[in-house]
Amino acid sequence: MSKIAIVILNWNGQLLLESYLPSVLRYSEDADIYVADNASTDGSVAFLKAHFPSVKIIQNTVNGGFAKGYNDALKQVDADIFCLLNSDVEVTENWLVPIQRLFAENPQIAIVQPKILDLIKRDHFEYAGAAGGFLDQLGYPFCRGRIFQALEKDEGQYDDTREIFWATGACMFIRKTVFNSLGGFDEAYFAHQEEVDLCWRAKNEGHQVYYVGESKVYHLGGSTLSNMNPKKTYLNFRNSLFSITKNLPRRKALLIIMIRLLLDGVAALRFIFQFKFSHCWAILRAHFSFYRQFGKMYRKREKANFILKYYVVKSIVWSHFVHQIEKFSDLVKD
């Protein structure tokens, strides 16, 4: 059986570690458990040493966000499979078993995520990942169980095991060999949607990404940035454009970027009508940042053959906001 290392990235999250680390220790007896600290100033490291001596601590020298934080930390982890786990996740009994089995039986599968449920509203899917991630033709991400802010109730409709396009960074399992061969996360993203880019690059290399509904965890979400924080809006809009630039054929990428310019402008106007001016400004800043870094992102384009069937619907924006579709089952017929 492959050796799993659970690596929890922490930044000033002592209270989260106190609340959720015990479940990880209780139900992950076959795994090594690490906390990678991103230069916290809240006493997290001292707390861990005093209360969780069995946990291995990696101390990053700077807070480089999710991407650099994990890139730096995972260089110091010896395992066949990395589990990247948010500090605000409560795991459940036997959660590792079906994932270990899937990896063992399918060497072509490189990345896996479990079912992500809401820690507070426990019978509903959680925003970050839900039952597996997908893209539309314009590169907008969404999930089974979550389309924009519409979250489905878990009624067993996604208890399957199936291929997805991207797995959430809130709880992502990835083979060490694949993570290293891809060069890890793109540190220009800092945080948000770096996992979409990583999975897209893995897909371009011929790897598979899977969801396992038999394994479930509960995610608090928003502990670092809430879903409606302007900084998160900025990072999501900018980083999505980064991924399009890096992972699609040149003509396709440029066409979609032009369309996204218009649609993101509509999104900015919508925020104005909702009196959310800080979010409108966040979208504008996202585009300014993207255009400044376009050349650098273009030079990062993968050398592998680009996969052309990366999407399951043409426009999630049109489907949701015009046709009022809120459930994946009404959007895509498996």
> Using the 8-state DSSP alphabet, how is residue 264 labeled?
H
The answer to whether residues 153 and 124 touch, using CB atoms and an 8 Å cutoff, is yes
Q: Which residues contact 332 (CB under 8 A, 6 or more apart)?
A: 134, 312, 313
CA distance 5 to 176: 10
Question: Which residues of the chain fall below pLDDT 50?
Answer: none
Q: What is the pLDDT of residue 2?
A: 86
Q: What is the pLDDT of residue 305?
A: 75
In terms of Cα–Cα distance, which of 176, 104, 162, 175 is closest to 133?
162
Q: What percent of the chain has pLDDT over 90?
A: 93
CA atoms within 13 A on the CB side of 65: 17
DSSP 160-171: SEEEESB--TTE
The answer to whether residues 130 and 150 touch, using CB atoms and an 8 Å cutoff, is no
Q: What is the pLDDT of residues 245-260, one digit of tens each?
A: 999 999 999 999 999 9
Q: What is the pLDDT of residue 221?
A: 87
Q: What domains, with CATH codes, occur in the chain?
A: 4-219 (3.90.550.10), 230-331 (no CATH)
Q: What is the pLDDT of residues 267-318, one digit of tens each?
A: 999 999 999 999 999 999 999 999 999 999 999 986 667 988 899 999 999 9
According to DSSP, the residues that pair with 282 across neighbouring strands are: none
3 state DSSP class of 43: coil
Q: What is the pLDDT of residue 229?
A: 87
Read off the amino acid at residue 142. Answer: F
